[in-house]
Structure 1
Amino acid sequence: MASSFVWSSIITELALPGAWGTFDPRGLDEEQNQTAVEALFQFLADFLQDRDAERDGLRIIFHDYSLRFAE
């Protein structure tokens, strides 16, 4: 997964692994759309929890993100 994807593509890829490239994210069927929407809100909740978990939560998130693409 490339870091230059728009958020909708990133959520679609994470929510529906292995399906990337087989459909247009704007053309999800009802079940795929529901899965992607549920994933979006779960990822958002996880982000907010991690961000607020400790004083430097946001700095840690950015640090971890940068390490992911350093390899």
Structure 2
Amino acid sequence: MTTIELIHSLLGEECNILFATSGPEGIDLALKCNPDLILLDVMMPGMDGYEVCRELKKNALTMAIPVIFFGSSG
């Protein structure tokens, strides 16, 4: 089971969940959808989670959104 599948199985009934599979896609999604919380994988292709978080915190539209980091092996 992938991390995305696990999160969806645990929270999908209770929450409206949106997924991105890359850093730039996640940043775009956060800007468009203004989520209440961002679950951010530390290890991602291209842009790692720390880099994504730095970009989100630089932007006035996303800087106040709480971020929870997690690590995954795939």
Tell me the TM-score normalized by structure 2. Answer: 0.24
Instruction: Identify, as 1 or 2, the structure richer in strand.
Output: 2
Write 1 or 2 for the structure with the bigger share of helix. Answer: 1
From the CA coordinates, give the structure whose radius of gyration is larger: 1
**Structure with more contact order per residue of length (Cα contacts < 8 Å, sep ≥ 6):** 2
The alignment's TM-score, normalised by the length of structure 1, stands at 0.24
